[in-house]
Amino acid sequence: MTSRAAAVLLGLVALAAVFAGVIAPHDANARFGDSVNAPPTPIRIVADGHLTRPYFHPWRLADRLETRYDEDTSTRVPLTFFAGGRLVSDPGEPKTPFLLLGGDSAGRDVFARLVIGARVSLGIALVASVASVALGLLVGGLAGARGGWIDAVLMRLSDVVAVLPAIYLVVTLRSALPLVLPAGATIAILVVLLSIVGAPWIARGVRPIVAAERQTGYAEAARAAGASPWRLLWRHLLPASFGFVARQASLLVPAFVLAEATLSFIGLGLPDTVPSWGTSLQDASTLGSIALYPWLLAPAVAVFVLTLLVNLAVGEDALATAATEAP
C-alpha cells in the first residue's frame, strides 16, 4: 500500500521534471537584481476581509547591505495562470518577480532552479543507474556463467571498488580531469564515474544468482539443445536476477542524485549555469548563508524526499535484503 503510493508520488516527481518548463514561473538562469537572497514570497488570497484571486505583495529592498526586504503592502500583484506557456506567472515579472522559494545569491528563482534542476539531477542519476545495470549485468553474468579465473578476477575487482569509499573514488578520478569543461562533457564524465562506482553493487548480486541458475535442469536442457553461451546467459540465466537488479537499480537513483549534489556542492560537478540540485546547493556552502537564507536548502529537502519515496517504493523488506545480499 505505502509502496504503491510512493511509486505514484515518484511518477508525479518525474512528470514535474518533464514539464519543468511549464511549472517553473521563470527561466532557471533569469536574474532579478533587486531580489538577491530575497525570502520566499507569501501567496495571499484574502484582501480587505474578502476572498480574492491569489496575489502577492512584492518585496522592497529595504537595505541592500543587510539584504533586508520589506513587503510593499501598497501594491498588489495578481498571479496569472496559464499565460505565456507557464502554469503560474506574474505580470510585473522583471520588477516584481514571484519567488515561491525565494531568491539565491544571484537573484535567481530558487523554485524554478529546483524544478528545472530536477531534470538534470534525475536525468544524470537515471542514465547512470541504467549504465550501472548494463555494466553490472555484464560483469556479474560473465563471472557467474564462466566461473574460474574470470570469476575470481572480476569479483575481486568488484569487491575492491565496492568497499572503497565511493565519494573518495569519484572525487579523485574527477579531479584528475581538467576542472573546467563544457557542461555536456562534465555530465558525460559524471555518468561514467557514477556507473563505475555503481556497477559492483549490481554485479555482486547478479553473480551468485547466475551461478546457481547455471546448475539447474532447464539451463542444462538449453545447453543440450545447442544454445550458445551468450544466448544461454541472456535468455535463460540473467532473467532470474532481474528482480534483484530492478530493486538495486532503483536504490542507486537517489544515491546518484546525492553524489551529483555532493560533487557540485564542492565544486567538482556541474558548472553554476547548469541548474541542478547540486549547483543550487553551492549557494548554501558557507555556514553563514545557511543561517540567513534557509530557503537555499530547498534542494537538500528535495534529495531527502526523493530518497524517502524510493525507499518506500522499494519496500523496507527489500531495503534490508539489498543491504545484506549486496556484500
Partner 1 sequence: MTRYLLRRLAGTCLLVLAVSSAAFVVTRLAPGDVAQANVGLGGASQEELARARHEAGLDRPLVVQWAGWLSGAVRLDFGRSLLYRRPVASLVGERAANTALLATVSLALALALGLPAAFVTATRPRSIAARAVGVLSLVLISVPPFVGSLVLVLVASRTAWLPAGGMTSGGDLNGLPWLLDVLRHLPLPVLALALPLAGTFERLQAQALASALSEPWVSAARARGIPESFVLRRHAWRLALKPVAAIGGLAFGALLSGSFVVEMVTAWPGLGRLTYDALMHRDLTLVAGCAAAGTVLLAVGLFAADALIAWSDPRVVHDEEQAEGAAA
Distances (CA, A) of 91 to 26, 53, 116, 136: 12, 14, 21, 51
Contact flag: residue 177 with partner 1 (CB under 8 A): yes
Contact flag: residue 74 with partner 1 (CB under 8 A): no
Contact residue for partner 1 among 164, 183, 221, 246 (CB under 8 A): 164
Contact flag: residue 153 with partner 1 (CB under 8 A): no
Contact flag: residue 202 with partner 1 (CB under 8 A): no
- What does the angle CA 222 – CA 226 – CA 230 come to, to the nearest 5 degrees? 75
Please, which residue, 114 or 145, has the CB nearer to partner 1?
Answer: 114
**C-alpha–C-alpha distance, residues 326 and 241, integer Å:** 13
Closest separation in Å from C-beta 206 to partner 1 = 17
Contact residue for partner 1 among 7, 14, 106, 162 (CB under 8 A): 162
Contact flag: residue 281 with partner 1 (CB under 8 A): yes
CA terminus-to-terminus distance, the chain: 29
The single residue listed with the C-alpha cell 506557456 is 85
Contact residue for partner 1 among 73, 175, 216, 228 (CB under 8 A): 175
Contact flag: residue 67 with partner 1 (CB under 8 A): no
Contact flag: residue 20 with partner 1 (CB under 8 A): no
Contact flag: residue 149 with partner 1 (CB under 8 A): no
Site size toward partner 1, by CB under 8 A: 45
- Within 8 A by CB and 6+ apart from 243, the residues are none
Closest separation in Å from C-beta 175 to partner 1 = 4
Long-range CB contacts (within 8 A, 24+) of 59-62 = 59/34, 59/35, 59/96, 59/99, 61/34
Contact flag: residue 158 with partner 1 (CB under 8 A): no
Contact flag: residue 222 with partner 1 (CB under 8 A): no
- What does the angle CA 78 – CA 81 – CA 84 come to, to the nearest 5 degrees? 110
The piece of 20-28, 87-95, 225-233, 300-308 that touches partner 1 (CB under 8 A) is 300-308
The piece of 69-77, 115-123, 130-138, 293-301 that touches partner 1 (CB under 8 A) is 293-301
**C-alpha–C-alpha distance, residues 190 and 177, integer Å:** 11
CB burial readout 76-99, b (16+ within 10 A) else e:
ebebbeeeeebebbbeeeeebbbb
Check if the beta carbon of residue 254 is closer than 8 Å to that of residue 303. yes
Contact flag: residue 157 with partner 1 (CB under 8 A): no
Contacts with partner 1 by CB under 8 A lie at: 160, 162-168, 171-173, 175-178, 258, 261-262, 265-266, 281, 284-285, 287-288, 290-291, 294, 297, 300-301, 303-304, 307-308, 311-312, 316-317, 319-320, 323-324, 326-327
